[in-house]
Structure 1
Amino acid sequence: MRLRRKVRAVVINDDDEVLLVRPHGYREGEWTLAGGGVENGESPVAAMRRELSEELGIGLDVDLEEIPVTNRFIYSPEHKAKRALDHDGQDAVMFSCRIDKNIPLCLQAKEVADARWFPADDAEKAFPVEKQRQIFASCMAVLSKRRNGVMLG
């Protein structure tokens, strides 16, 4: 099975809002986490820094924290054929970072149609696919435990 390596970030601001992006190809009202593919020879952390910089203009020096949540999708044969994909699914490493709400975003016009801050509850509802909502909820649960001082491991 051939899985494409990806990275995704839960970007949170000072008001505990979550930044979601609407890539080109997503319908109005459908959002996802910032991120993208890991290039050959690139570490997941380096890929996440690159993607945040490219897609949103967020500096490469942002503190990233890996979230121990599995984000693996296996495509149906129909989906794979319809999109003419050369891989069977994707496996993403999840990260979180905090940024100042007032940092200006510089969207990569080629890939990102829009970006918006959402209250966490509203963010979960903005994902178009149930599996994405479940992964986001799992990430937020881990982050909540960390914030409340519960040790994970």
Structure 2
Amino acid sequence: MAAFLHEGGLKLRQKVRAVVVNDHGEFLLVRPHGYREGEWTLAGGGVEDGETVHQAMRREIAEELGLSLKEDLERLPVGNRFIYSAEHKAKKALDHDGQDAAMFVVRLPHDSQLALQAEEIADARWFSASDALAAFPVAKQREVFEACLNAIAA
């Protein structure tokens, strides 16, 4: 069952997203099924009821990328909140008003072996920071990624 935040009269689906970076300074992006060729996003997903965001991030990395994280997760001081339009909410018959994603940095060795979750992930690829920025299909995703890069560099 999904976890929700109730804030300011809104019901927001809790999500987690990972800025996955390797020791060569490359960033891992995923292309879920349903994304067009050349459109990428960050690994992650929904928080389940009773889970912390840290537990959800570990579970999502294990499910989507086949990686068991041993080290502590670093939560970034960046979030990604968006509210659905009334049209989108009605079209999709959603019972919530938007999403609120906690952002994490996940550091991996460059030779990490991925085992992609075939049901959800069509592809995954390592990008330079500038190429990763250009790979996001939506401006808000680029803004959030850039804020994450700035937080990681700080």
Normalized against structure 2, the TM-score is what? 0.91
The percentage of counterpart residues that share the same residue type is 66
Secondary structure in 2 matching 1:135: helix
CA distance in 2, matches of 1:22, 1:133: 15
Runs of 4+ in 1 over 3 A off after TM superposition: none
The 5-angstrom pairing of residues 60-139 of structure 1 reads 60-139=69-148
Instruction: Provide the residue aligned with 2:150 in structure 1.
Output: 141
- Figure out how many residues of one structure are paired with residues of the other and give that number: 145
Q: 1:56 aligns with which of 65, 69, 77?
A: 65
Q: Deviations over 1:45-70 (max 9, x none)?
A: 00000000000011132431000012
Q: Does 1:39 align with 2:48?
A: yes
Q: How much does 1:29 deviate?
A: 0.6
CA–CA distance in 2 between the matches of 1:76 and 1:90? 12
Say what the alpha-carbon RMSD is for the aligned residues.
0.9
State the alpha-carbon separation in 2 of the partners of residues 62 and 54 from structure 1. 17
Matched, 1:13 2:7: no
Give, in whole Å, the separation in 2 of the partners of 1:29 and 1:62: 31
Gaps of 5+ in 1: 146-153
Aligned-partner Cα distance in 1 for 2:68–2:147: 26
TM-score where L is the length of structure 1: 0.92
Tell me which residue corresponds to 1:2.
11
AA in 2 matched with 1:13: N
Q: Which residue identity does 2:54 align to in structure 1? A: V
Runs of at least 5 residues in structure 2 that lack an aligned partner in the other structure:
1-9
